[in-house]
Amino acid sequence: LESELRNKHIDWICNAKVDKVEAGMMYVTEYDENGQEKKKHELPFKHSMMLPAFKGVDAVFGIDKLTNPRGFILVDEHQRNPTYKNIYSIGVCIAIPPLEQTPVPTGVPKTGYMIESMVTATAHNIRAELDGKEPTEKGTWNALCLADFGDTGVAFLAMPQIPPRNVQWASRGRWVHLAKIAYEKYFMRKVRKGISEPTYERLTLKAMGVMRLKK
């Protein structure tokens, strides 16, 4: 990511918190690896975009043993809440503990294929419960992504997404940009047809060692 930013003449500041934003000026404090204040920045701008930290929705916020302090749903390895057994949760709303303590607290990213594996496991587990059985399926949480940078991009595969990983591969080039366009059309066709994982897709990914469910 730093390489791509550098190529496009974009500056960046790591380990930083936004103190306040005024008309045309953003005030940011940068921290060192020990969490100590390193430098204060005054960043003038004509156009800015802020992405605030994710948190849970008000409807479930603060429910004991259902959510963590940020409002994310607590789940076990089968995507089910350990306390409220009739509640399953998937995607960006689940609580995943951070890998390590960082100067500025961060969350664990949740990517598309990782979420698809959660969905598949959840669907099988709900079916099992309806049949009077206990949930057994677990999502692989693998990450297979095409990151499009407009004229180029990076493709990467992480198995599983959260370290320690068995596989970590990445490739870059204009082909990723074109692949992203093609994948968008392919994905929308899948949605319209209501088929989440066509046979040819499953077999192709299986040949690469990428599967939704743990075996």
| Predicted pLDDT of residue 213 | 95
125 or 197: which leads in pLDDT: 125
Please report the pLDDT score of residue 105 as a whole number: 84
Task: Output the pLDDT for position 134.
Answer: 95
**pLDDT of 191-210, one tens digit each?**
899 988 899 999 999 998 99
What is this structure's pTM? 0.85
- Whether residue 1 is predicted with pLDDT greater than 90 in this model: the reply is no
pLDDT at 57: 86
**What percentage of the chain reaches a pLDDT higher than 70?**
100
**For the chain, what is the HEC assignment?**
CHHHHHHCCCCCCCCEEEEEEECCEEEEEEECCCCCEEEEEEEECCCCCCCCCCCCCCCCCCCCCCECCCCCECCCCCCECCCCCCCECCHHHECCCCCCCCCCCCCCCCCHHHHHHHHHHHHHHHHHHHCCCCCCCCECCCEEEEEECCCCEEEEEEECCCCCCCEEEEEECHHHHHHHHHHHHHHHHHHHHCCCCCHHHHHHHHHCCCCCECC
Q: What is the pLDDT of residues 149-173, one digit of tens each?
A: 888 999 999 999 888 888 999 999 9
